[in-house]
Each structure stands twice: as C-alpha cells, then as structure tokens.
C-alpha cells in the first residue's frame, strides 16, 4: 500500500503558480505551450532556484508538444515561439513591466548519443516561479494533461485559484481577457455560452478535480445583455483516472505512430483546405481552422482530406450566406466561430 501511495505522489507532479501569473491574458499561448509551461512548473522546485533549468529527452518534448515527425529546423520554430512568450505584470501605479518567460533553449546530444532539449527561465521571470511564500495556488499536473483546448486549461486554472473560496465573479470582459478570447470571437452570448462556458464545464467535470456551475450575476446591460457571471466551484470526485506525465507522453507517442504522415502531406492538406475557402485566407489562418477541426471533429472526418474539405467548404458557404443578410466585419473570426457547431 505504501509503495502505491509513493508511486502516485511521484507520478502526479505538483504545479505551483503565483496568482499574479494566473491573472495574465493568455491569447499568445497555444494549448501545447500552456501545457508545457505547467509541466515546467511541476518539474522545478520553487524553493530552489538552481532547478530553473529543465531537461527533456527530445522524443518526450515532441510528444508533449504534439509535434509528430519534424526536423531540427521546425524544432527551432517551436522553441523560438516558446522563447518569445512575454508576460506583462501590472505595477501599483497602473503601468506594467513586460518580460519573457524563458531566456534560453538548447537542443543537443548527450554523452549517450541521445537528443535532448533544455530550457531555462528568464531572470526577470524568476520571482514569479521561485521563492514565493504566499498568494499562489497549486494543482496536480494530471489535471492539465487531460484537457483538450487552451480554453479548458485556462478555465481550470482561473477557477482552481478560487477553489477554497468556492465562488468567483467575473465580468464577461474579464473572462474573455483571461481566456485570451477576442471580442470578435463568439460575439453573441449564446455562442460564447455553448462553445466556451458549456464546453469547459463538461470538460472539467469529466477530467479534473473540480467542477463548476455558473449563472448571470448583478445588473444587466442594455437590452438585457449579461455583463457578469458567478461561478460556483466544487470539488469533483467523479473525474476519470489520474494520468501520469509518463503515461501522457507514451499515449501521445502511440498516437503519433498511428497518425504519422509522410513529409509534405500536411502542407498539401493545408493548401487543399485553402481552396475550400476560395483562397480567401492565408495558410496560417487555415492552420488555425484545421487545428480547431482536429479539436472538435470526429476522427472519421479529420482522417480524410475530402471530408475535411467538404466540412470547411460547408462552413465557408454558411458564412457567405450570413454575409448576404448582414455585414460581417471580420470574416475569419466569424468562420472560426462556426467550426464545431452543428
């Protein structure tokens, strides 16, 4: 019995995160980057600054970031994106201090001829990660590993911070800011409710150690517009089995083997999907749409190029029909909001 308990403690790393770091807009970080940051925080010792450098076997890093088959040049793109992440910490007088989370990333081969990646926190970010004694919250890493979108992971952290209080009241504007959702995305509350609030509510109830309900709070705006939400946060005993970091990495490696694609096929798929939208959007925008399709659609659709094409073309036509009736100022944001809806 004691051996089992110790194994569980070892597998389920603890993430300790300062409150101020949790109150920062997260729109610049993908799900994989948010997940990686949680793993980084779980691997350091906040009481020992000498643990600031964290090393991963390269295959583990690729599995964590869901990269599949890539070369060193693309790995540079991924790591440079991590190094570019900037946080803006508010000052007492209303200003802010901006700096990067990480300052150095090294990819090399060790004495055993094994590739590894090593990442080091930025000096300015150290006070956010080390030697803090109060105003922080913590959670076991497995909660972050099971969530499938950046909205879900951020919602978990936003509410986990207030778990002991049991209630958190946020304006819609504040919540959008914390989640990194632009005002142009899901402009109607019913869309925001279905795609974000309800989706996160279900995901947290099924996969994490907390669950929540929510309701409108306080005065409403013009035309009955909901301005504030009250979240009721509870412990959750009905989540799925805990997932260790090692098992998470192994699962992703297994998925990579099943979905492994020849080099160049991914790029061809993106170009093909550009045509589904009459080449109106850039390849980078199509990649965003494709990643959403991977997140929301069944494997029976995403596994076939033609089905992906037909699905996206249908959503594009839906957007055009809407545009004939009313002006759509930001067509890409509107199309993005349609992905995953019935």
- Whether 149 maps to a domain, the answer reads yes
pLDDT value, residue 300? 63
146 and 198 belong to one structural domain? yes
Helix, strand or coil, per DSSP, at residue 35: helix
Q: How confident is the model at residue 129 (pLDDT cuts 50, 70, 90)?
A: very high
Say if residue 326 is exposed, middle or buried (CB neighbours under 10 Å; 0-12, 13-18, 19+): exposed
pLDDT value, residue 299? 62
Higher pLDDT among residues 52 and 251, named by residue: 52
- Whether 256 maps to a domain, the answer reads no
The answer, yes or no, to whether residue 4 has pLDDT greater than 60, is: no
298 and 158 belong to one structural domain? no
Q: Which CB contacts under 8 angstroms, 24+ apart, belong to 239-242?
A: 239/205, 239/206, 239/207, 239/208, 239/209, 240/146, 240/206, 240/207, 242/8, 242/11, 242/12, 242/140, 242/142
pLDDT value, residue 80? 86
The answer, yes or no, to whether residue 1 has pLDDT greater than 80, is: no
Mean pLDDT of the 105-115 span = 89
Find residue 136's DSSP bridge partners. 18
When mean pLDDT is compared across 44-48, 77-81, 208-212, the lowest value belongs to: 77-81
- Whether 252 maps to a domain, the answer reads no
The answer, yes or no, to whether residue 259 has pLDDT greater than 60, is: no
Q: 177 Cβ partners below 8 Å, 6+ apart?
A: 25
Report the chain's mean pLDDT, rounded to a whole number.
84
CATH for 173: 1.10.10.10
Of the residues 220, 235, 250, the one at which a domain ends: 235
161 and 19 belong to one structural domain? yes
Asked if residues 65 and 32 have their Cβ atoms less than 8 Å apart, the reply is: yes
- Whether 174 maps to a domain, the answer reads yes
Domain count, the chain: 2
- Whether 175 maps to a domain, the answer reads yes
Instruction: Please give the share of the chain, as a percent, with pLDDT higher than 70.
Output: 86
Asked if residues 217 and 169 have their Cβ atoms less than 8 Å apart, the reply is: yes
Of the residues 235, 254, 285, the one at which a domain ends: 235
pLDDT value, residue 316? 93
pLDDT value, residue 10? 39
Mean pLDDT of the 279-295 span = 88
Find residue 139's DSSP bridge partners. 15
Asked if residues 184 and 215 have their Cβ atoms less than 8 Å apart, the reply is: no
226 and 140 belong to one structural domain? yes
84 and 184 belong to one structural domain? yes
The answer, yes or no, to whether residue 274 has pLDDT greater than 80, is: yes
266 lies in which domain range?
262-338
54 and 105 belong to one structural domain? yes
Q: How confident is the model at residue 26 (pLDDT cuts 50, 70, 90)?
A: low
Tokens 């201090």, residue?
97
100 and 201 belong to one structural domain? yes
The answer, yes or no, to whether residue 194 has pLDDT greater than 80, is: yes
Asked if residues 104 and 90 have their Cβ atoms less than 8 Å apart, the reply is: no
The answer, yes or no, to whether residue 247 has pLDDT greater than 80, is: no
Q: Model confidence over 29-43: pLDDT tens digits?
A: 888 888 889 989 999
- Whether 305 maps to a domain, the answer reads yes
132 and 180 belong to one structural domain? yes
Q: Model confidence over 168-193: pLDDT tens digits?
A: 999 999 999 999 888 878 888 988 99
The answer, yes or no, to whether residue 5 has pLDDT greater than 70, is: no
Higher pLDDT among residues 12 and 190, named by residue: 190
Query: Cβ of 274: how many Cβ atoms within 10 Å?
Result: 18
82 and 219 belong to one structural domain? yes
Of the residues 235, 254, 272, the one at which a domain ends: 235
135 and 269 belong to one structural domain? no
13 and 144 belong to one structural domain? yes
- Whether 280 maps to a domain, the answer reads yes
Q: How far apart are CA 36 and CA 31, in angstroms?
A: 8
Q: How confident is the model at residue 6 (pLDDT cuts 50, 70, 90)?
A: very low
The answer, yes or no, to whether residue 212 has pLDDT greater than 90, is: yes
When mean pLDDT is compared across 124-138, 163-177, 245-259, the lowest value belongs to: 245-259
170 and 277 belong to one structural domain? no
- Whether 244 maps to a domain, the answer reads no
pLDDT value, residue 332? 92
Higher pLDDT among residues 25 and 14, named by residue: 14
When mean pLDDT is compared across 56-70, 87-101, 162-176, 310-324, the lowest value belongs to: 56-70
Q: How confident is the model at residue 233 (pLDDT cuts 50, 70, 90)?
A: very high
Highest mean pLDDT among 92-96, 201-205, 292-296: 201-205
């Amino acid at each position: 019995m004691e051996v089992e308990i110790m194994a569980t403690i070892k597998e389920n790393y603890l993430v300790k995160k300062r409150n101020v770091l949790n109150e920062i807009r997260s729109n610049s970080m993908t799900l994989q980057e948010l997940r990686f940051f949680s793993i980084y925080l779980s691997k350091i010792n906040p009481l020992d600054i000498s643990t600031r450098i964290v090393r991963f076997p390269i295959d583990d890093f690729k599995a964590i970031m869901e990269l599949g088959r890539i070369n060193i040049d693309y790995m540079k793109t991924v790591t440079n994106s991590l190094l570019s992440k900037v946080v803006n910490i508010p000052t007492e007088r209303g200003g802010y201090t901006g700096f990067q989370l990480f300052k150095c990333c090294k990819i090399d081969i060790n004495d055993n001829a094994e590739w590894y990646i090593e990442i080091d926190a930025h000096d300015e970010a150290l006070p956010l990660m080390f030697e803090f004694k109060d105003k922080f919250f913590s959670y076991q890493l497995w909660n972050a590993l099971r969530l499938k979108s950046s909205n879900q992971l951020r919602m978990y952290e936003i509410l986990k911070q207030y778990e002991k209080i049991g209630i958190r009241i946020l304006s819609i504007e504040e919540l959008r800011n914390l989640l990194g959702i632009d005002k142009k995305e899901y402009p109607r509350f019913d869309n925001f409710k279905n795609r974000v609030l309800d989706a996160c509510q279900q995901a947290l109830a099924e996969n994490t150690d907390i669950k929540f309900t929510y309701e409108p709070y306080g005065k409403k705006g013009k035309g009955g517009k909901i301005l504030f939400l009250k979240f009721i946060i509870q412990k959750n005993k009905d989540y799925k089995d805990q997932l260790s970091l090692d098992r998470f990495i192994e699962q992703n490696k297994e998925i990579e083997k099943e979905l492994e694609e020849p080099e160049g096929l991914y790029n061809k798929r993106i170009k093909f999907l550009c045509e589904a939208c009459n080449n109106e959007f850039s390849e980078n925008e199509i990649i965003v749409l494709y990643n959403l399709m991977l997140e929301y659609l069944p494997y029976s659709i995403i596994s076939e190029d033609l089905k992906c094409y037909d699905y996206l073309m249908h959503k594009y036509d839906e957007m055009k029909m809407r545009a004939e009736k009313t002006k759509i100022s930001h067509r890409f944001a509107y199309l993005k909001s349609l992905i995953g809806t019935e």
